[in-house]
Amino acid sequence: METVTLTAHAETRANQRGIRRETMAILLDYGVAKIRGGAEVIYMDQAARRKAREDLGDKVYARIERALDAYLVVAEDGRVMTCAHRRKPLRFRN
């Protein structure tokens, strides 16, 4: 699993929102990255979820599945700038 480095803001938001570092590491390892506003937004699409389930196994995946309804905003230096729960689909401009 990838090491997760957070900004002070991301640390605060993760604590407020109950998003664990384990979840962030899985998002970084398996998630899809799209550019939005000059930063990467990383989230789990269906293909990423399938891959994570294959690699982690059904038992582990079932334990974390709901937590994966989150996204990370990652700076160019690789630090997580913020994180949040996805309440509706993310929108990206083409």
pLDDT tens for residues 19-74?
999 999 999 999 999 998 889 999 999 999 999 999 999 999 999 999 999 999 99
Residue 39 lies in a domain: yes
Q: Is 93 inside a domain boundary?
A: no
Residue 94 lies in a domain: no
Segment (H or E) for 60: helix 58-64
Tell whether 67 is covered by a domain: yes
Q: How many domains does the chain have?
A: 1
Q: Which range marks the domain in which residue 17 is found?
A: 8-85
Q: Would you state the pLDDT for residue 66?
A: 94
Residue 94: pLDDT over 60: no
State residue 93's pLDDT score: 63
